[in-house]
Each structure stands twice: as C-alpha cells, then as structure tokens.
Amino acid sequence: MAWNEPGGGKDPWGGNNGGDGPPDLDEALQKLRSRMDKIFGGSGGNSGGSSGSSKSLVSIILIVLVLGWGMMGFYQVDEKEQAVVLRLGKYLDTVGAGLNWNPPLVDSVTKVRVTEERQYSSRGHMLTEDENIVELPLTVQYNISNVKDFVLNVKTPEVSLRQATDSALRHVVGSSKLDEVVSTGRLKIGDEVKLRLQTYLDNYGTGIHVRKINIQEAKPPSEVKEAYDDVIKAREDQERLINEAQAYSNGIIPEARGKAQRMIEESNAYKEQVVAEAEGESKRFESLLTEYQKAPEVTRQRLYLDAIQKVMSNSSKVLIDVEGGNNMLYLPLDKIVQSGANRSQSSSSSDVDVNRIADEVINKLRRENAPSTRSRGVR
C-alpha cells in the first residue's frame, strides 16, 4: 500500500498525517532546517525560524565557495615544464612536474616550457670591415636555462634576445671582411656571435641559454648583385690562374732540378775522366822516360814514327821536300788508302795499313835519292 493511500503508513518525511492527504511541505522544510541547524550548531526550535534559515543558507554558500576556491588551487605541471610561484607578487618557489596546489588569488603560477628547443630567425643588411654591404640571415636556437630569471628579471626576454642578437651580429660582421663573411669565415663568425650573445643575455639575466647559431648563405643586396657576381667571377679566375701557375711550377721545377743534377753528374764525370787521363799520361810519360833512358835512339825513332802516324792519319795529302832537289813530292794518301782499302775489302784503315804505307813512302824516297843526296827530314 502506498504511503499516500488511505490507511497508508508514515510519509517519507517522518510525519504521520493519518492518511488524510498529501504531506505538509512546510513541516518537511522545517525539519530539514532543524537538522542542518544541528549540524552547523544552530538551535532546532521554531522560535526565530527565519533568522535560522538565513544563517543556514549563508553557511551552505560559504562551504560551497570554500570548496570551489580549494578546487581552483590544484594545477598540473607537465614533464617539459617548470612553474614559478608568486605569493602576493613576491617570488615563493619554483616547482617541477606533477600535481601541485597553491591558494588561488593569493599565489600566481606561471608555467614555462624549459626543455623545448626554441628558434628565432633574423635577417638584415650589414656593413663589413672593408665597407661592403652584405645581407646575412641567421637562426638562433635556444632554450630556458633558468625559469626564475626568465619570468622575473626581464619583462620581455625574447624581445631582448632579438635585440641582443642584432647587436652581437652587427658587431662581429663589422669586424670581419667580406670574404670571411661570404665564404670561409661563416663558422668562425657563428661561434663569435654565439659567445657575444650569451654574454649579453647573462648580463641581462634573461635565463636564456643559446644552443647554436646557424649562419646561412650570405649574399649581397639585390641592388649590387651584378657587381658582386663580377667580383666573385674575378676571384674564381684568380684562383684558377694561381692553381695553373702552381701546377706549371710543380712540373717545371723538378725537371729543371733533374737537368741541373744531370749536368752536375756529367761535369763530375768529365772531371774524373780528365784527371784520370792526365794521370795516365803522366804515368805513360814516366814509363817512356824510363825506356828513353835505356835506349835513346830507338825510343826517339819510335816516337818520331808514332808522331808521323798520328799526323798522317788525319791528313789525306802529304808534300815532301827533298834536299838538293827542285821538285816537291806529292803523295795522295787518300787515294792510296782507298786503293788499299778496296784490296783488303775493309771499310777503314788500320794501324798496319798506315805503317805499310809509311814504309813504302820511305823506301821510295830512299831509292830516288840514294845516288846523290840524303834526306834532310820531313816537314
């Protein structure tokens, strides 16, 4: 049987109306308020019911507000983040990853991604040391090394980073020549800019750590690009000519050194040959002197014949003057040698042929001049 049917039981609000009708709502609300007053320390009587009801409602509202305020204080810090906590505007703590709680409206929490690799790009026209204009783009890679300094020391740390980058880059480029900036010196310039930029950031207390600076290809402004291309081409031609000259030098110098060494070796060989021949001649003369002392006439005659042989071997004609005669004898030795060579089928005269010819000439002269005159000599 339902509680609101005739003869039913008690109503769910704890009252018993005897089954005469629906429950009394005012009575049910009064009972609820009484129970709340007991919980929060209020009196459960009916006197002063209006004030008790207002007090209970305010208490409920306060409890809800306190619970909501407490729930608002919870926050989650990611693994890549750190949080700076300020209490009434003053630095309190730096917290890491995890679930944290701070009283809302009292503490303020600023989260910063500290492990994230950040990047900033810049491009500008600059004047080099040798008064050339160059357009130099670069990229700065950095992260946050000190989250407290990053949040509190500088109002806009990344704007300060851009300004410090421009200052450091212009200082380094202004101290370098165009060739260094464009070609070989870019890595060196990047290291110098990184060192100077980090010094600026540390002096400002930004909490930023510069990881790397990438200087991209430098190029001249578009207004002077054609003139700059001509300069580059001339520099390439210069390098090419230098390499060709160096190659020619590398080829000609060893060859000249080889020739010089060969001439030195030939001169040393000639020197040794002359010295050896001179020594041999001196020894031969000494030996000849010894033989001359033993037999002067024979040695003299032999020397005379050797001299005649040597002279006549180099001459094709001989003229002989005979003492007491008016005629001069002509001996065509070339014809005689040629005829003797034809008879012997030889291509050249030997020492035996010369001796034979000399003997024939001497015998002929003796036969012609034997009755009347004596030979005075041969010129």
Q: Cα(116)–Cα(251) distance, rounded to whole angstroms?
A: 58
Angle, to 10 degrees, between the axis of helix 25-39 and the axis of helix 49-72? 60
pLDDT of 234 strictly over 50: yes
What mean pLDDT do residues 62-80 have? 79
Q: Cα(331)–Cα(165) distance, rounded to whole angstroms?
A: 110
Which tens digits make up the pLDDT trace of 299-322? 888 888 888 787 777 766 666 666
Terminal CA-to-CA distance of the chain, rounded, Å?
Answer: 184
With CA atoms as reference, report the closest residue to 218 among 300, 126, 149: 126
Q: 268: part of which helix (H) or strand (E)?
A: helix 225-294
Residue 39 lies in a domain: yes
Which tens digits make up the pLDDT trace of 34-54? 765 665 555 444 444 555 566
What mean pLDDT do residues 243-249 have? 89
Percent of the chain with pLDDT over 90: 9
Residue 6 lies in a domain: no
Q: Is 369 helix (H, G, I), strand (E, B) or coil?
A: helix
Distances (CA, A) of 61 to 55, 72, 106, 146: 10, 16, 21, 43
Domain shared by 126 and 214, yes or no: yes
Domain shared by 107 and 193, yes or no: no
Residue 231 lies in a domain: no
Out of 191, 219, 247, a domain closes at 219
What is the Cβ-side half-sphere exposure of residue 330, based on CA atoms within 13 angstroms? 4
Residue 279 lies in a domain: no
In this structure, what CATH number is given to the domain that contains residue 127?
A: 3.30.479.30
With CA atoms as reference, report the closest residue to 154 among 210, 206, 90, 201: 206
Domain shared by 48 and 86, yes or no: no
Residue 188 lies in a domain: yes
Domain shared by 165 and 94, yes or no: no
For residue 364, give the DSSP letter. H
Out of 88, 113, 138, a domain closes at 113
Q: Which amino acid is at 4?
A: N
Which tens digits make up the pLDDT trace of 201-220? 999 888 899 998 888 777 77
Domain shared by 177 and 152, yes or no: yes
Residue 282 lies in a domain: no
Residue 203 lies in a domain: yes
Domain shared by 126 and 193, yes or no: yes
Domain shared by 134 and 213, yes or no: yes
With CA atoms as reference, report the closest residue to 114 among 161, 147, 69: 147
Split into its structural domains, the chain has a count of 4
Report the pLDDT value the prediction gives residue 174, as an integer from 0 to 100. Answer: 85
Residue 281 lies in a domain: no
pLDDT of 263 strictly over 90: yes
Out of 163, 184, 219, a domain closes at 219
Domain shared by 92 and 103, yes or no: yes
Beta strands in the chain (DSSP E): 74-77, 81-87, 90-95, 98-101, 107-113, 118-127, 133-144, 208-215, 318-321, 328-331
**Average pLDDT of the chain to the nearest whole number:** 76
Q: Cα(144)–Cα(150) distance, rounded to whole angstroms?
A: 7
What is the Cβ-side half-sphere exposure of residue 22, based on CA atoms within 13 angstroms? 2
Domain shared by 180 and 123, yes or no: yes
Give the length of the chain: 379
Domain residues for 85?
74-113
Q: Which of 42-51, 53-62, 253-262, 367-376 has the highest mean pLDDT?
A: 253-262
Distances (CA, A) of 38 to 46, 53, 56, 285, 376: 13, 12, 10, 158, 181
Domain shared by 321 and 360, yes or no: yes
Domain shared by 105 and 138, yes or no: no
Q: Which amino acid is at 287?
A: S
Tell me the pLDDT band of 100, cut-offs 50, 70 and 90.
confident
Domain shared by 124 and 213, yes or no: yes
